[in-house]
A and B are shown apart, each in its own frame.
Chain A
Amino acid sequence: MAETLGTFEQAVLLAIMHLREDAYGRGIMREVQDRLKRDIAAGAIHATLKRLEERGLIRSRLGLGTPIRDGHAKRFYRLEAAGVEALNDARATANNLWRGIPWPLKGYVWETT
């Protein structure tokens, strides 16, 4: 069993997987915002990236800056094998939980007054 992932961590890892060679801080932030459909604090993304890197699920390298960043360097991320395994486990767990239940749910709401 690989590492357990929270929803936000899954969103960050999936963003890295989706962006591939272009997975750096700002790009990941935009992708996660699109996936979760809400504004995300830059600090929250970076804290999560740092934690995932410490857990060995991703690794990073420094790249060159661009004029829009005033030349500040970019940090690019990529998934490690453990990160892929953790994502696979998260998906398998969700699939197991939903097995035999039709989606979207209908007629299960217990009305209270």
Chain B
Amino acid sequence: LRIFLKPDEAETETGDLLEAYRDSIQPRRGPFRADLWFVGQVAGYIFRASAINLRNWLLTGLTLCILTIAFSLLRYPDPTAGPAKPGILVAICGGILFYGYVAIWRTRPATAEDSSVLRMGTVWGIAIGAVWIGSLIFENLVVPHGFGAKIGYRLALVAFCLPFVSGIHGAMKTQCIRGGMRVGFWAGFISGLIAFLALAVIGYVLAFVPGFPGAEIPAIGHAYTAEEFQRLNVFDALGGALAHLFLIGGVFGVIGGAVGACFGRLMIRIGRGSNVSAGT
């Protein structure tokens, strides 16, 4: 609390939490569950403090994305990739503008449901992003290659499934399919941003620290220059990072969220149906 709140707020709010813990929570729930309650309350404070800055975090992430894309394309253009098609560049710019609009205008919740959706989406997005980071590290940097790749693929599978779960969670919490889709979108957006930045960093590590198993080799059996090696790896990582940002994050987040939301809605209906039949 001292890290996330102002000193006077941390002082009074720590006191309130301690008082609640001692005067009612611990006597009612016992020491272990009271400790869990305390940790949960502190986590809630931290989340609220971070959620206020969600817009700034997203805009900072998007700015880093733009700088990474621009720097990588200008400094390390891959000669084997052919000329960049204008359509692709327009799509990338459009996607970033859309994300910028969402980050600026959609991060201020107007209703309790907006706030709940944003909170769930952020938590799921960070969780999915963390799983993607694990997967990317295992697939690209961990030695031996076979062992790392196996864990990496399994983590990727988990990360692919999680937007679906986030959609179920969102639909069950908000009681509507749209709520689940929105949770899936936020989860996809935030996890895509995290995965983009992680993969961009990994791409530069692969390009400039030789010896990692995930590095691409320009021409097997032929001589190649260090510059060719760097260009290929930076460009390859950039392609993967963009796929994470727009396709795996944005598009699949919404699709996974929507499918999960329908599933969640169905579960609610089945639950209601069984309640009705149990009642009659």
B-contacting residues of A (Cβ < 8 Å)?
Answer: 6, 24-26, 29-30, 41-44, 46-47, 50, 62, 65-66, 68-70, 72-75
Contact = CB atoms under 8 A, between A and B. Distances in A.
Given A26-B20, A68-B22, A68-B23, A42 B15 contact: no
The 6 closest A-B pairs by CB, nearest first: A72-B15, A25-B16, A69-B15, A43-B44, A75-B12, A43-B45
14 contacts: A24-B16, A25-B13, A26-B16, A30-B24, A41-B44, A42-B45, A47-B48, A62-B8, A68-B19, A68-B23, A69-B18, A69-B19, A72-B18, A73-B12
Contacts, number: 67
B113 interface: no
Interface residues of B, number: 22
Contact of A72 (B11, B23, B40): B11
Contact of A70 (B18, B24, B41, B47): B18
Contact of B20 (A42, A50, A62, A70): A42
Nearest to A25: B16
A61 B10 CA distance: 15
Interface of B: 8-9, 11-20, 22-24, 40-41, 44-45, 47-48, 112
Nearest to B24: A30
Nearest to A6: B112
A65 to B, nearest CB: 6
Given A42-B20, A66-B19, 7 more contacts: A26-B16, A43-B47, A44-B44, A72-B11, A73-B8, A74-B12, A75-B8
- Centre residue among B14, B20, B23 by max chain A CB count within 10 A: B20
B109 to A, nearest CB: 11
Given A29-B20, A41-B41, A62-B8, A46 B15 contact: no
A42 B44 contact: yes
A42 B16 contact: yes
B44 A65 contact: no
A66 B14 CA distance: 12
- Centre residue among A26, A41, A62 by max chain B CB count within 10 A: A26
Contact of B9 (A24, A26, A46, A74): A46
A109 to B, nearest CB: 15
A46 to B, nearest CB: 6
Contacts of A68: 18-19, 22-23
Nearest to B1: A43
Given A26-B20, A42-B41, A42-B44, A65 B15 contact: yes
A68 B18 CA distance: 7
- Centre residue among B9, B17, B19 by max chain A CB count within 10 A: B19
B20 A73 contact: no
Contacts of A50: 9
B277 to A, nearest CB: 13
Contacts of B22: 68
- Centre residue among A25, A29, A30 by max chain B CB count within 10 A: A25
Contacts of A41: 40-41, 44
B35 to A, nearest CB: 15
Contacts of A73: 8, 11-12, 15
B16 A29 contact: yes
A42 B17 contact: yes
Nearest to B22: A68
A35 to B, nearest CB: 16
